[in-house]
Structure 1
């Protein structure tokens, strides 16, 4: 499978990755401009951007970018171990490089944040429309929750709220919101078979207090709260960088 074909597969499966593309190579190097590789969240690399020394450097910096969601140009030189960071450029000295210099563009491909919405009323429909317009991946709540679920918003006006809230909190979903009045939300939370710490994680009334009245305004206030809190699913911890000798 080619790297670009694999990119399509990873995107459809909502798997984050870094696409590394060699844009410049000074001899002697084994890599050529246009060579590509993928860095996956577990540190696996697919493709080719140079030998073991270049690969270890690309892997360690690719994992950093997966955590930040940013992209950068990576320059690897056959100098003594060092690292210099300027805007858009990281220069790394790797003395075990074969003698040439490589410039590799590392592009972080992080899928849009996944949001589940439970409900079938005007507010639930607005949550889908506003969420999609703001770049979120919004879907109906499903069982089981995906590992990369960032938020569950319940806007079902009393239907199946408690079981979903308990399940989401026990699963550690980063953001859990309940669309309800403050009084009804308090009553729902009191009925849950959960710890006080877990109950405190529920946002109810969901959303920032912006004076929202219409379904679209309520949806906007909820996504504003999501953006402000930056909830993210956990990535596997990066492996320590390899060092060539």
Structure 2
């Protein structure tokens, strides 16, 4: 599998994942320095960074990395090992089931770029799109009143345009930022037509943009993108989780998207490890209760102890 090609595909599909690379390996671990893998939001691992026990730790930490949006260094050690001393910024996972060796794995989140949907064709709309790309945002046009899911939306008012319809579609699609480029009088008239609730009104910004005294199209575009960045950095814009989405066309329209449901977690009853539950996680159902294990070895040990 070409992981670079696969990573590019996931980015094009706007699916979050974690890139994991082995930066240090101590024999007899099966991983080698430079081994890589991609960890999807549902816990699927594509590539290789170690055996079953290591994979369990990588899945658990990758889930935290996606939740926090921050990189993390993972030290995977066998029980009682002290070869890799603790250090700030590192997370240690002690795997009693490991037969020896140790690894350090760097996990880096790869989150979809913030999506900015622009409605209208004018120098201001072009400036907004240009500045958005300069800060590494993805940009899509709004076609009619169809608003992409997971998008911030900027609407440039024009004669005969359906600004109210686009705003309503954006609200229904859950847009965290909706900017209307219009005069105060025109903006007030559009809002009267939309008739938003109090919570919805808090997401609508008109006149759009920070007050920097902007006059030219470029300056206005800069002020609008700066305001979107402000809202994004304050946590007002959620990035796609991979769990699907909607787009609005005056109501709700389902948009086909890859679904990566967030995995659950359980504790291995043998070694005490936290295990991320996926389709391939070893498990055993006893008296109607499902037990999850870090590896087949722990499952076999549990079965053997029950027989004994």
Pairwise TM-score range, normalised by the shorter structure: 0.7 to 0.9
Following superposition, the deviation at residue 184 of structure 1 comes to 1.9
Match of 1:111? Answer: 112
Of structures 1 and 2, the larger Rg is shown by: 2
Match of 1:50? Answer: 50
TM, length-normalised to structure 2: 0.71
Q: Compute the RMSD of aligned alpha carbons.
A: 2.4
Deviations 1:96-136 (A, max 9, x none): 33321111121222232111111111110110111112221
CA contact (8 A) 2:16 2:240 kept: no
Give the 5 Å matches for 1:1-245. 1-79=1-79, 86-87=88-89, 89-142=90-143, 144-147=146-149, 149-158=150-159, 159-192=161-194, 194-230=196-232, 231-235=237-241, 237=262, 239-240=264-265, 241-242=274-275, 244=294
Deviations 1:8-29 (A, max 9, x none): 2212222221111112211222
Q: 1:146 to 1:44 in 2, by over 3 A?
A: farther
Aligned length: 241
Match of 2:83? Answer: none
Following superposition, the deviation at residue 166 of structure 1 comes to 0.6
Deviations 1:26-50 (A, max 9, x none): 1222222222211112222212211
Q: Secondary structure at the match of 1:86?
A: coil
Unaligned runs of 5+ in 2: 81-85, 244-261, 266-273, 276-292, 299-308
CA contact (8 A) 1:85 1:91 kept: no
CA contact (8 A) 1:177 1:203 kept: yes
TM, length-normalised to structure 1: 0.87
Higher mean C-alpha displacement, 160-169 vs 33-42 = 33-42
Unaligned runs of 5+ in 1: none
CA contact (8 A) 2:147 2:166 kept: no
Q: Secondary structure at the match of 1:173?
A: coil
CA contact (8 A) 1:152 1:175 kept: yes
